[in-house]
Structure 1
Amino acid sequence: MRARLFLSRLLPLLLIAAPPAWAQPAAHRGADAPAPASATRFASPLARNLQGGATAATPASARCQELAGMVGQAIAEPDRRNVVVRRMGPDGQLRNELGEYDRRASPEAEYRRLGCRP
């Protein structure tokens, strides 16, 4: 009975004295503080592509020029078709499946990866 009375009087004091976990600074919680809501905003896919592709220093190499030429040629003469590709099926067996082939995709991906600018 005494323990119950003691806890019933002590528990409200403990709850008032200790700040809730969400009110503690991030350093005390051991986690990074979330970014303010004003810092995160919606960006269109086009804007994200432009931001992701733009780098401060761009290598002016012959490889960038070669890739730009390959992409330009693939745009002028598109070669898109379905090709047979061997892939693993859900049961772990190899299967022949139709996959899309785009001659422009791999040079364009490498062009972006290298940080080349048009």
Structure 2
Amino acid sequence: MQLSRLARIATLVAMAGLIGGLVLWLGPLYGPLACLPLLPALPGLWRGRRYTYGWTSLLSLAYLTVLLTEFTARGASGWITAPALLATVIVFTGCLCFVRWQAREQTPPPTA
């Protein structure tokens, strides 16, 4: 199995976890609003488009910043953000790995 395929699957699963974690953390009213910026990325992630994976990694940094701040600022009650924080880290890492590994897999080997 190709490494880019594993990174793609991990990113898609983590994206679903991030959306679920945001809804769990922010509740049924504000959770879907926080997920709105993620929705345009879903078709491109599903189709495996490198460009979408690139900008999704940048988008995930905003979520990482907010969730990490909430996690550290709230102390013991900040643990409710832990699933979304973990999912965000996996989305970011998966996006970067997918772009890098797919470019490596599509590059023809050098001929001597």
TM-score range with shorter-chain normalisation?
under 0.3
Give the number of the structure whose residues are more often helix, by fraction.
2
Instruction: Return the structure number with greater relative CO, CA threshold 8 A, min gap 6.
Output: 2
In the superposition, the TM-score normalised over structure 1's length comes to 0.26
Give the number of the structure whose residues are more often strand, by fraction.
1
In the superposition, the TM-score normalised over structure 2's length comes to 0.28
